[in-house]
């Protein structure tokens, strides 16, 4: 039953136990090790359905630090393929908004690949608005099969949402 999904704050131990994807595992663990924010996970029983990292500290990107002071960034939003289109990403985003309100924070933002039409559709549906017309460039770090990391730059559209009505 879809209703059995629960969303909670996760620990590094949860990441090591539940997150199989090498890239996600690497980045989520690093964020938690550096205390950068809150990891939310959606679980169906013991199975991982999806995750979202809510970055509460300053964004890495200068444009965001200067243009959106005090913003919290949504990162690493993913719902595993078998569980998509059941509203779980929407629920993770709702919980992120709740976490922000509880901390007295007003704005959340995220960056998305301009070609990721599905994600953009989701963000617009849940009330995000485009921030500026042009993509910004962000660093991307991929973990390769041999465990080394590969850095590149990629375009990212920025969307924002106020979490207070
Ligand atoms: C994008 C993603 C997180 C969406 O997760 P999800 O749980 O399927 O999303 P939801 O069920 O909450 O979707 C809510 C609404 O968003 C829109 N939407 C979501 N995915 C969509 C898609 N692939 N194509 C078109 N619209 C989509 C729809 O309007 C959907 O409502 P509907 O199912 O009633 O039509 C998921 O596809 C995913 O993990 N993709 C790979 C990782 C990724 O791209 N993450 C985003 C990085 S910025």
pLDDT at 4: 86
pLDDT at 3: 64
CATH number reported for the structural domain that contains residue 113 in this entry: 3.40.630.30
Question: Would you say the CB of residue 2 lies under 6 angstroms from ligand 1?
Answer: no
Predicted structure pTM score: 0.96
Distance (Å) from CA 146 to ligand 1 centroid: 31
Task: Write out pLDDT tens, residues 139-150.
Answer: 999 999 888 999
Q: How many domains is the chain built from?
A: 1
Q: Whose CA is closest to atom 3 on ligand 1? A: 78
Question: Would you say the CB of residue 122 lies under 6 angstroms from ligand 1?
Answer: yes
End-to-end CA distance of the chain: 31
Question: Would you say the CB of residue 119 lies under 6 angstroms from ligand 1?
Answer: yes
Q: Whose CA is closest to atom 9 on ligand 1? A: 89
Q: Low-confidence residues of the chain, pLDDT below 50? A: none
What Å distances lie between residue 8 and 99, 108, 131, 148, CA to CA? 11, 19, 29, 31
Question: Would you say the CB of residue 77 lies under 6 angstroms from ligand 1?
Answer: yes
For residue 80, give its domain range.
2-162
pLDDT at 70: 93
Distance (Å) from CA 144 to ligand 1 centroid: 26
pLDDT at 48: 98
Question: Would you say the CB of residue 121 lies under 6 angstroms from ligand 1?
Answer: yes
Task: Write out pLDDT tens, residues 149-164.
Answer: 999 999 999 999 999 8
pLDDT at 84: 98
Q: Output the six-digit token pair for 74.
A: 């949504």
């Amino acid at each position: 039953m879809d209703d059995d999904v629960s969303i909670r704050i996760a620990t590094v131990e949860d990441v090591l136990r539940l997150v199989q994807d090498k890239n996600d595992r690497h980045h989520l663990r690093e964020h938690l090790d550096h205390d950068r924010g809150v990891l939310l996970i959606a679980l169906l029983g013991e199975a991982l359905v999806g995750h979202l990292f809510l970055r509460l500290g300053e964004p890495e990107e200068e444009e965001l630090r200067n243009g959106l002071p005090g913003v919290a960034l949504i990162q690493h939003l993913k719902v595993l393929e078998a569980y998509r289109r059941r509203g779980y990403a929407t629920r993770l985003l709702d919980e992120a908004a709740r976490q922000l309100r509880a901390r007295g924070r007003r704005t959340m933002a995220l960056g998305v690949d301009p070609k990721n039409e599905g994600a953009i559709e989701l963000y617009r549906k849940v009330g995000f608005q485009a921030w500026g017309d042009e993509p910004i460039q962000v660093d991307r770090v991929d973990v390769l099969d041999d465990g080394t990391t590969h850095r590149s730059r990629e375009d990212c559209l920025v969307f924002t949402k106020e979490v207070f009505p």
